[in-house]
Each structure stands twice: as C-alpha cells, then as structure tokens.
Amino acid sequence: MASTTPEIPGIHLAQKLNCNNAQNQAEINQCAQLSYQNADKKLNQVYKQLLPTLPAYRKPKLITAQQAWIKFRDTNCEFERSENEGGSIAPLTYFSCLARTTQQRTQQLQEYLNYTHEL
C-alpha cells in the first residue's frame, strides 16, 4: 500500500486519507486505488524511456504487446474481482490485482531497458 497521505480527486474526507492507518474498507479501497495509480505512473515512465531506445522495426511490436498486455491485465483483474462481486472488498481485490500486475510489467520493461543500455 502507498505510504503517503494522498489527495484523491473527487473524494472529500473530513481529514486526509492515511494509507498507513486506513480505518475502514472504503479507506482501504481508496489506498489500493492510489497504489495502482502510482504503479501505473511508474509503468508509463519506464515505457516512455524504453520506446525511444528501440530500433524502428521493434517499436510497433512493443506498442502492440503493450496494448495486448493492458487488455489482459484489465480482464484478468476483472476476473479476480468477480470472486467478491458485490462485496465491499471487491474494489480492493481489483486494484490490488492491477497494482501487482502493473508492477510485474514495469519490472519486465525495466529489464528490457537495462538490456538495451548494455548493448
């Protein structure tokens, strides 16, 4: 989970959200969403670093792979969430899956980036 005290647009709380000490399921869900958003930002940073390092013939392949990966991630996490469909924990399941899967993909892209710098 995120360790900062975030401000989530559209969420009006009496006090700021503390993800180190979430007090209820709604706060835990919001912190999971924030964790995913942070993971997604990191993924996009690494992707934007990697793309220009590739030869022209590889760029469309990465773009296609990334689009397919996003579709996989989203549908797979929808599947994971379906186990708790309608429950208050469903958003936590979904955003935790998104964060975990996105972090794994970021690591893959970082490895590609490291490899291209070694060449």
Number of domains in the chain: 1
- Residue 58 belongs to some domain of the structure: yes
- Residue 60 belongs to some domain of the structure: yes
Averages of pLDDT over runs of 10 residues in the chain (119 residues) are 42 68 92 97 98 96 98 98 96 98 98 82
| 29 and 99 Cβ atoms separated by less than 8 Å | no
What distance in Å separates the CA atoms of residue 67 and residue 86, rounded to the nearest whole number?
29
- Residue 7 belongs to some domain of the structure: no
Query: Quick one: pLDDT at residue 65?
Result: 98
- Residue 15 belongs to some domain of the structure: no
What distance in Å separates the CA atoms of residue 109 and residue 49, rounded to the nearest whole number?
9
| 99 and 73 Cβ atoms separated by less than 8 Å | no
Query: Quick one: pLDDT at residue 17?
Result: 85
- Residue 109 belongs to some domain of the structure: yes
Q: The domain containing residue 98 runs over which residues?
A: 25-118
- Residue 17 belongs to some domain of the structure: no
Domain harbouring 79, CATH code: 1.20.1270.180
Phi, psi (deg, nearest 5) at residue 93: -60, -45
How is residue 53 annotated by DSSP? G
